[in-house]
Amino acid sequence: MKQFKCAITYGTYDLFHIGHLNLLERIAQLADEVIVAVSTDEFNALKGKRTVIPYPERARIVAALRVVDQVIPEMNWEQKTDDVLKYQCDLMVMGDDWLGRFDFLKQYCEVLYLPRTEGISTTIIRETMPVKNG
């Protein structure tokens, strides 16, 4: 039996890589159900971010993973409390680069910040992508 019933996590999941998979697999080891809130293109624009892969494709990639039970859209910063309550999550997980930022959820569920996979990130992939000429 796993330690938690339902876990939720949030992210853009652009340029899906092994760090994303490692995080989701670690969450699946902790909880019976894994919900992933994938940031919409509109929400990313509000954050000043632009993705390479559009939201419907990013959500489809994440949903295809056997360790993921459900994908929902992340449309704003404020929805986290509502999501935890709506889906009855007893665990919220983020990468440790967000340490402390979501501690306000501790009144509703456990909050866990997991170490990121070293040497890989969407930023690193973007920075090493060839630039198109023309």
| Predicted pLDDT at 122 | 66
| CB burial readout 87-104, b (16+ within 10 A) else e | bebbbbbbbeeeeeebee
93 vs 50: CA distance, rounded Å:
23
Candidates 3.40.190.10, 3.10.620.30, 3.40.50.150, 3.40.50.620; correct CATH number of 4-128?
3.40.50.620
- Does the annotation count 80 as an active-site position? no
Question: The sheet that has 110-114: what strands, in order across it?
Answer: 70-74, 31-39, 4-11, 91-95, 110-114
Strand partners, 38: 11, 73
| Predicted pLDDT at 132 | 60
Q: Which of 2, 47, 86, 106 is catalytic?
A: 47
- Does the annotation count 132 as an active-site position? no
At position 83, the amino acid (one-letter code) is: D
Nearest to 84 by CA among 12, 32, 9, 23: 9
| Predicted pLDDT at 15 | 85
Domain ranges of the chain: 4-128
Strand partners, 35: 8, 70
Q: Which of 2, 5, 49, 106 is catalytic?
A: 49
What are the per-10-residue average pLDDT scores of the chain (134 residues)? 95 90 96 98 94 95 98 96 98 95 98 85 65 55
| Predicted pLDDT at 16 | 86
**Structure tokens belonging to residue 46:** 């509000």
